[in-house]
């Protein structure tokens, strides 16, 4: 992956105000794989006090989207067109980490997956899997 | 729908700190159908300045979940086990509204759908559809 | 819908040998909505003797795909890129009918839905809902 | 995996008349992973002559379902409640093979995945990925 593409991913991430609201950070940026971590903030919870599914979705979807962006031409960005999430366990602990990867690159559609884990006392437990489709769109000049 | 079940839904919603972070509100609570609105806050955006998909997901998923809760016995709550979202258009404008409903009630699984719309100058435009499954769980005594 | 597009749909359906294997027929061809019926043949069953989910999927997916095709330019065909099915009840009875429709047309992607029903003694019961994405592809000259 | 559970899987497979219609066979039965192969028969094609998505779905769904069954108590069977398929490439060649596995076992729900490949001259190419949910149901005495 070129430094330009890594810089594009980092700049796009920084522009997502939602990521800032969630305290999320890019933990890894590689060719075809991107990881995002987020703390389970007081304001990111569901009714039982666990991580809200929207937080799990947010970092799962974004990690998968940036994994797709990492394998696209520089003059493109990427939009999610559909995403399915299966929730496996409650999001307990301190932090979540989402590891997104490209399953199938393509000029028109990129199929992606993300696995999301909860971290508690240094132990990882998988809490979700996401499978979806990203659409490359040319960046307006 | 009994006043007890409506009260249970309102109490559960109030406990979701994520809904407060998003400024989301219950707009309608009916038997088998629930609507949730949320402003597109400065902190709820993606990299192009539109509503973040996690906001769309959050209110779509919650509206569907509370629609399921509205048709369950009082001593149960509900968890999302899986949810698919198809994004139809960018979330532009001032507010989003998600209208969730029960497609198929059941003792073990409740199939739900939610349609999410963006409101701009009083005009509604559909931006997403969600289809998923809720699991009833007995409330611990 | 032009007669040319209806003819294109009927010709495409006739070329799907799987539809013939299933005894499936086009029951309705309209602009943005297509219905397909199929008997529950002896060879189309799962282990309990109900209609196999692959039959439900097949006519649900095809009805949605042809609904998409009905709103596309004549020189395009359509491919499913992703489809989710929620199964609501066993496929009992004599026949299934799938009613596909376009939720959101588009130049690059068409979002579609299909509802599938089982018919038993003239009574319809919904057994599945499908939500997915069709991709228009130009027909090679 | 006990011989009883393997026998239960083989007996269930044999009762699926749809598998016989497709010429499908169990290629591997292991604890938490099951593979199914099927030829691309003349009667299993879509309009362009490739394997029909319903064939891909059928063996993907069944391989995932039997993977779930392999980790369940003997007195249970399994039903698909929802399944999403992303189609990655056309199903060309002679045979398909689906490799299903359990992602997350559970007493109420089992989350499963299947990868489907097309075989052409001994070369495998992935054509689909499925992600879904199986429900254990007690076998009626």
CATH code where residue C109 lies: 3.10.129.10
Average pLDDT over residues C81-87: 98
Q: Cβ separation of B84 and C133 shorter than 8 Å?
A: no
Nearest CA in chain D to A84: D84
**Alpha carbon of A44: minimum distance to chain B alpha carbons (Å):** 5
Task: Write down the pLDDT at residue B141.
Answer: 61
pLDDT band at A140 (very low <50, low <70, confident <90, very high): confident
For residues B60 and B79, give the distance between their C-alpha atoms in angstroms, rounded to a whole number: 14
- Crossing angle of helices C53-69 and D53-69, in 10° steps, is 150
**Could you tell me which residues are beta bridge partners of residue A137?**
A77
Are A60 and A25 contacting, i.e. CB atoms less than 8 angstroms apart? no
Chain D neighbours, 3+ Cβ pairs < 8 A: A, B, C
**Of residues A89, A126, A131, nearest to D129 (C-beta):** A131
**What is the per-residue pLDDT across B14-68, written as a single tens digit (0 to 9) for each?**
999 999 999 999 999 999 999 999 999 999 999 999 999 999 999 999 999 999 9
Mutate to test the interface with A, among B8, B15, B21 (most CBs of A within 10 A): B21
Q: Cβ separation of C84 and D84 shorter than 8 Å?
A: yes
Task: Write down the pLDDT at residue C8.
Answer: 96
Q: Cβ separation of A21 and B20 shorter than 8 Å?
A: no
Q: C114 phi and psi, to 5 degrees?
A: -140, 140
- Give the domain range for residue C12: 3-138
Residues of chain A with Cβ-Cβ distance to D113 below 8 Å are: 129
CA atoms within 13 A on the CB side of B89: 16
Q: Cβ separation of B133 and D82 shorter than 8 Å?
A: yes
Average pLDDT over residues A106-117: 97
Distance of CA C84 to the CA centre of its chain: 13
ipTM exceeding 0.85, yes/no:
yes
Higher per-residue confidence, C122 vs A90: A90
Average pLDDT over residues C51-74: 97
Are A101 and A111 contacting, i.e. CB atoms less than 8 angstroms apart? no
Are D101 and D32 contacting, i.e. CB atoms less than 8 angstroms apart? yes
Task: Write down the pLDDT at residue C1.
Answer: 82
Task: Write down the pLDDT at residue A122.
Answer: 87
Task: Write down the pLDDT at residue C122.
Answer: 87
Task: Write down the pLDDT at residue D140.
Answer: 76
Q: Cβ separation of A85 and B81 shorter than 8 Å?
A: no
Average pLDDT over residues B7-20: 97
Are D98 and D27 contacting, i.e. CB atoms less than 8 angstroms apart? no
Task: Write down the pLDDT at residue D141.
Answer: 61
**Of residues D84, D111, D132, nearest to A88 (C-beta):** D111
Number of domains in chain B: 1
Nearest CA in chain D to C44: D18
Q: Cβ separation of C108 and A135 shorter than 8 Å?
A: yes
Task: Write down the pLDDT at residue D78.
Answer: 94
Residues of chain D that touch chain C, judged by Cβ-Cβ distance less than 8 Å: 12-13, 15-18, 20-21, 42-48, 52-55, 57-58, 61, 77, 79-87
Task: Write down the pLDDT at residue C30.
Answer: 97
Q: Cβ separation of B53 and A81 shorter than 8 Å?
A: no
What is the pLDDT of chain B when averaged over all its residues?
96
pLDDT band at B140 (very low <50, low <70, confident <90, very high): confident
Nearest CA in chain D to B85: D84
pLDDT at C141 over 70: no
Give the rounded percent of residues in chain A with a pLDDT score beyond 90.
94
Q: D6 phi and psi, to 5 degrees?
A: -60, -40
Q: D41 phi and psi, to 5 degrees?
A: -70, 160
Are B117 and B124 contacting, i.e. CB atoms less than 8 angstroms apart? yes
Q: Cβ separation of C135 and A109 shorter than 8 Å?
A: yes
Average pLDDT over residues A47-68: 97
DSSP D93: S
Average pLDDT over residues C27-53: 97
**Alpha carbon of A21: minimum distance to chain D alpha carbons (Å):** 30
Per-residue pLDDT of chain D (141 residues; tens, 9 = 90+): 899 999 999 999 999 999 999 999 999 999 999 999 999 999 999 999 999 999 999 999 999 999 999 999 999 999 999 999 999 999 999 999 999 999 999 999 999 999 999 999 889 999 999 999 999 999 876
């Amino acid at each position: 992956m070129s430094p330009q593409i890594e810089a594009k991913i980092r700049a796009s991430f920084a522009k997502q105000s939602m990521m800032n609201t969630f305290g999320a950070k890019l933990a890894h940026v590689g060719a075809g794989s991107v990881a995002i971590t987020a703390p389970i903030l007081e304001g990111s919870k569901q009714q039982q006090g666990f991580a809200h599914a929207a937080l799990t979705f947010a970092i799962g979807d974004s990690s998968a989207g940036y994994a797709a962006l990492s394998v696209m031409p520089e003059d493109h960005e990427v939009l999610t067109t559909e995403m399915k999430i299966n929730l496996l366990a409650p999001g307990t602990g301190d932090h979540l980490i989402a590891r997104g990867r490209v399953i199938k690159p393509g000029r028109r559609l990129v199929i992606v997956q993300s696995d999301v884990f909860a971290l508690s006392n240094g132990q990882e437990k998988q809490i979700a899997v996401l499978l979806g489709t990203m659409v490359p769109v040319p960046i307006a000049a």
